[in-house]
Structure 1
Amino acid sequence: MNFASRVLAANNDLPIRTGAPVHSGKVRSVYWLDSADSARLIAERGYAVAADAPLAVMVISDRISAFECIWHGEGGMHGVPGKGAALNAISNHWFRLFREQGLADSHILEIPHPLVWIVQKARPIMIEAIARQYITGSMWRAYARGEREFCGIRIPDGLSRDQKLPELIITPSTKGILEGIPGVPAQDDVNITRNDLLAHYKAFNFRAPEDVNRYETLLREGFEVISRELAGVDQIFVDTKFEFGYVTDVAGDEQLIYMDEVGTPDSSRIWDGAAYREGQVVENSKEGFRQLLLNHFPDPDILLNKDRMVERLALARNTVLPASVLMAVADTYVGLAEKIIGQPLHLPEDPRQEIIDILDTGFGLIS
C-alpha cells in the first residue's frame, strides 16, 4: 500500500470558497466563510448559533511538527498516515463527553469528514492552560535545578522524576505576544500566575474576573474526565494543554467553551499504565517522537536552543526520516485513538478528494 498517497500534507490550498485569507497553522488550516455562506449553513444545517455567527471550515493535516519544525520521511511521506483522523477522533470523543456531562460545549458544530470540522468563530482566551498531574519534562528539569515555584504555585522538596504530584496544578502561559501587562514580558509562551490573570483579566480576553474561576473549573473537570477514561484503558494522563474561548449562543449570550483540540497525543503527555507500574515510561504521545529526534541527532542542542532556530529549521528541512519512524508514530496515534473511541478508526483513502466532494455536494462550499 502506498501510504504516502493517504497522507494529507497540504491543507491550505483546497478550493473552499472563503471570505478571508486562509489561516494555516502547523497542523490545522482555517477557512473563514463569508457572511452569506455562514448564514446559509446556519439556516440549512440548523446550527444552534446566532443567525449572523461567523463560521469556518477547519481542516486538519497529517503533518507532524516537533521543536517548532515540520518533519518528513522517505518515500515522499510528508506526514504521518492516520494522524489527522486520530487527533480529530480523540478530540471529538472528549468534547462529546464534556458536553454530555454538563461541563461546556466546544466550537465544533458539525463533523462532515474525519479530517474536517465546521466551527463557530470564537474569541480566544489568550492563555495556554497547562494542567500537570506528574512532574516530568521541562518542569522536572527546572525542579532539578532547584526551582520550587511554578506560576506562583510552590511544590514540595523530595520529588522524583516522573512522580505523581501531590495535586493537579495549573501552570498557564501566554498565547501570543501580549503587551502592556506589568510583570509579564511581551513574548509568546511566558509563564504567568493566577494573580496575573485576575489583575489583568481583560488583557487576557476574559470577560469578567469570575471567568478566571470558571476556566479553572472547566480545566480541572475536563482533565478529570479524560484522566478517568484513559485509566479505563490503562493509560496515564500526565499533562495537557487546554484552550478556551467565547462564542455567542442562539440567544445572543456569550458562553465560555473549550476550543482547539483537547486530550490528544499532540497536546498531552500520555503514558502506558502497565509500563509505568514496572518503573518505565512509555510515551503514547508526540513526546515519544520528540525523544526519538533528540536521540537521532549527534547535537540535540540544536533542537532545544532557541538561539539556533535557523540551524534547526535547516536540519528539519534537510533530514529525511526513515519511513519506519513515521509509521511507528502512526501506530501510536491510531492505536491510542482506537483504544479511546473503542472501535476501528476510519482512515481516508484519498483525503483531499473526499473533503472536496463532501464540501461540494453537502455544503456548497467549493468554488
Structure 2
Amino acid sequence: MKALVKTDFNFPGQQSVYHGKVRDVYNINDELLVMVASDRISAFDVILPKGIPFKGQVLNQIAAKFLDATADIVPNWKIATPDPMVTVGIKCEGFRVEMIIRGYLTGSAWREYEAGCRNLCGVALPDGMKENQKFPTPIITPTTKADAGHDENISKEEIISQGLVSKEDYELMEKYTYALFQRGTEMAAEKGLILVDTKYEFGKKDDKVYLIDEIHTPDSSRYFYAEGYEDKFAQGEPQRQLSKEFVRQWLIERNFMGKEGQVVPEMTDEYVESVSERYIELYEHIVGEKFNKANAEDVAARIEKNVTEFLKK
C-alpha cells in the first residue's frame, strides 16, 4: 500500500506550484491549473504524519462526478481528469471566502451552540435546538480562507463591508450555494444518504464566477445515513456518518485537537489501512459504484506521464 504524500513535478509550461493541506496545485502558463489530490490527510488544520492510500483517487473521482452533475447550475473550473488523482481546469482568481452551508446543527456549529452561541455568522439560532436537528431551511455560515492556521467565521455583512467580495458576487455565490446544496441533497437521498453540510469555493475569471476546487466529497462534506436518522435523533444517539469525522473522533479520543502542545497519536499501518478502507466505502456509498483501485506501483511516475501527455495535446 503506497501513499502519495509529496509531489514535485515539473510539467510543460509550469509557472509555479502551491502545496495545500491535501492538494498540490500546479499553475500552467497562468491559464490552467493541474490539481493533484494527494493521499495526505488533515484534521484540525494539521497534516497527519502518514498518508492514506487511494484517498486522493477517492476525493478526485467523487469531485469530478459532482462537478459534471452540477455543471447545469453553475459554470465550474473542470476541463478534464487525465489521471485518477488529477483534475485539470481553468485558472480562476479564488475568492477569500468559503461558502459553508448547513442543513443540520452538528459538528463545529453544534459545539458553538452548546457553548451558548445563538448567532452563527450573522444567522440567529433559536433556543432549544438539539444536536443533529434539521434546520427549517439550510443556513450559510461562511468562513474567511486563511493561508495558514484556522479559517475564521464571518458574516455576509462583514464580507461585503470589508470588501472581501462585492455585494453582487456574494449574492450570486449565495444563490449558487443553495442550488448546489439542493442538488447534492437530492443525489444523496437517491443513495439513502443525507447531505448534512458542505462547503463550496468560488473564483472569478473574465468577470464570470466559477465553482472551483472539490465538491460533495467526504473531506468537504458530511453525510448521515438516512435509515435510522429519526430514531437516533429521538434517542439522542450519535448518527451514522459518512465523512472524515471518524478520523477527527479517533484523534479527539486520543487527546488531539490540533492545540498547542498536543501530540498527534501514532498511526499504525493497521489504522492507516482501516482509514483507506473507510474512504473506499465512502466512495461506493456516495457514488453508488464499485471503486476501481488505480495502479499504485509508482503513482508519481503515472501522474507525470498522464498529465504531460494531456498538456502536450
Same fold (TM over 0.5): yes
In structure 1, distance between residues paired with 2:205 and 2:112: 37
| Correspondence list, 1:1-367, <5 A | 3=1, 5=2, 7-11=3-7, 13-34=8-29, 54-72=31-49, 78-99=50-71, 102-176=72-146, 189-200=151-162, 203-206=163-166, 209-248=167-206, 254-279=207-232, 280-295=238-253, 297=254, 300=255, 302-305=256-259, 308=260, 311-312=261-262, 315-316=263-264, 319-350=265-296, 351-364=299-312
Report if aligned partners of 2:75, 2:210 keep a CA contact under 8 Å in 1. Answer: yes
Fraction of identical pairs, as percent:
31
In structure 2, distance between residues paired with 1:362 and 1:18: 12
Distance 1:255 1:320, change over 3 A: same
Counterpart residue identity of residue 179, structure 2: E
Any unmatched runs of 5+ in structure 2?
A: 233-237
Cα RMSD of the aligned pairs, angstroms, is 2.1
In structure 2, distance between residues paired with 1:361 and 1:198: 43
Any unmatched runs of 5+ in structure 1?
A: 36-53, 73-77, 178-186, 249-253
**How many residue pairs end up in the alignment?**
305
Report if aligned partners of 2:45, 2:258 keep a CA contact under 8 Å in 1. Answer: no
Structure showing greater Rg: 1
Divergent runs of 4+, >6 A: none
Deviates more, 1:155-164 or 1:190-199: 190-199
Distance 1:360 1:143, change over 3 A: closer
For residues 200-219 of structure 1, what are the alpha-carbon distances to aligned partners after superposition, in whole Å with 9 as ceiling and x for unaligned? 4xx2144xx22222111100
In structure 2, distance between residues paired with 1:274 and 1:153: 30
Report if aligned partners of 1:63, 1:70 keep a CA contact under 8 Å in 2. Answer: yes
Which residue matches 2:235? none
In structure 1, distance between residues paired with 2:22 and 2:241: 21
Q: TM-score, normalised by structure 2?
A: 0.90
Tell me the CA shift for residue 18 of structure 1: 4.7
Tell me the CA shift for residue 221 of structure 1: 0.5
In structure 1, distance between residues paired with 2:123 and 2:34: 39
Counterpart residue identity of residue 86, structure 2: V
For residues 130-187 of structure 1, what are the alpha-carbon distances to aligned partners after superposition, in whole Å with 9 as ceiling and x for unaligned? 111111122112212222111111111111111111220011111137xxxxxxxxx9
Q: TM-score, normalised by structure 1?
A: 0.78
